[in-house]
Amino acid sequence: MKLLAGNSNKALAAAIGDYLDVPLTRAQVRRFADMEVFVTIDENVRGEDVFVIQSTSYPANDNLLELLICIDALQRASARRITAVTPYFGYARQDRKTGGRTPISAKLVANLITRAGADRVLTLDLHAGQIQGFFDIPTDNLVAYPVMAEDIKRRQKLDDLMIVSPDVGGVVRARQLADRLDAPFAVVDKRRTAPGESEVMNIIGEVKGRRCILFDDIIDTAGTLCNAAKAIMEAGAKSVSAYVSHGVLSGPAYDRVSSSVLDELVVTDTIETSDLAKACEKIRRVSVAPLIGEAIRRIANEESVSKLFD
């Protein structure tokens, strides 16, 4: 087994390597003067099972191109099998046509990864599960809710806990976490007024007197999550925290989280933590390196990945 890391999240790649007790493959992923990506693999990978660890987070296009060129370099170096490990799969929110003359960019990116030479894909909490079907190669979509559930059990009392989905689209995700914790769940019914903006319409479920935990897959500008948290508190909840798989956290997100009613925002390390996130007292991070590392070990050994979540 070989682990090759791009530049998007070297800390996570190193943590995965530590879990597996496998050093990262020596390689250079750098830029020419005009910012073209150049990759050199500095050790033999012929006949090896290679896992390329690279989230396609900001800057999404640069990191995506790094991933594609790493895959191409490995294919031309005669690697036996190449697995694209994308803890955060960018462009996943563009999974359908939302209007006339608009793209389905998630399918395009899936095609690019496949045509570059990847033999399989390993990712975590795709925004829409059907994106697995966009790939014509085996795709494993891990879920973060077991990691979140363990963290909640260690830090929260479960007697008056309630899991809340910030929108109707996340109901299945919230129910999975609620079932894991044997807790009730509620749903915030919202109407999106513009991209990145939302207006809370209704709360389905009784949150009064509960300590609520919002659970979602992506937090970008934090508008939806902070609006949902405010509505929950106005409905009589004792407190509200949030657990989110991918902390994109762009634009006004940090200011919104800092000034919100949220007690805490917990994100995983699928996206490298920025200096602003480190400085925000309300943001805490949990690692999914053991989860991804164990999935990599199982793939390399031809074992079941789905049994991780039984």
Same domain assignment for residues 18 and 107: yes
Same domain assignment for residues 262 and 214: yes
Same domain assignment for residues 131 and 217: no
Q: What are phi and psi of 160, to 5 degrees?
A: -120, 30
**pTM of structure:** 0.94
Half-sphere CA count of 146, side-chain side, radius 13 A: 12
Q: How far apart are CA 83 and CA 86, in angstroms?
A: 9
Question: Tokens 């480190």 belong to which residue?
Answer: 278
And the tokens for 68?
A: 């594609």
Same domain assignment for residues 170 and 132: no
Note down the domain range covering 108. Answer: 2-142+290-309
Query: What's 60's domain CATH number?
Result: 3.40.50.2020
Same domain assignment for residues 254 and 300: no
> Do you find a cis peptide bond into 59, omega within 30 degrees of 0?
yes
Same domain assignment for residues 159 and 86: no
Same domain assignment for residues 136 and 184: no
SS3 (DSSP) at 231: helix
Same domain assignment for residues 31 and 66: yes
Average pLDDT by consecutive 10-residue portion of the chain (310 residues)?
A: 96 98 97 95 97 97 97 98 98 93 97 98 95 96 96 93 92 94 92 62 91 96 92 95 96 94 97 89 96 98 91
- pLDDT of 277 reads 85
Same domain assignment for residues 130 and 11: yes
Q: Please state the domain count of the chain.
A: 2
And the tokens for 85?
A: 């490990």
Same domain assignment for residues 273 and 174: yes
Residue 190 annotated to the active site = yes
Same domain assignment for residues 138 and 196: no
Q: How far apart are CA 163 and CA 245, in angstroms?
A: 15
Nearest to 130 by CA among 153, 99, 96: 96
- pLDDT of 196 reads 54
Decide: residue 182, CB within 10 A, 0-12 exposed, 13-18 middle, 19+ buried: exposed
Dihedral angle over CA of 125, 126, 130, 135, nearest 10 = -120
Same domain assignment for residues 197 and 110: no
Q: Catalytic: which of 2, 153, 190, 282?
A: 190
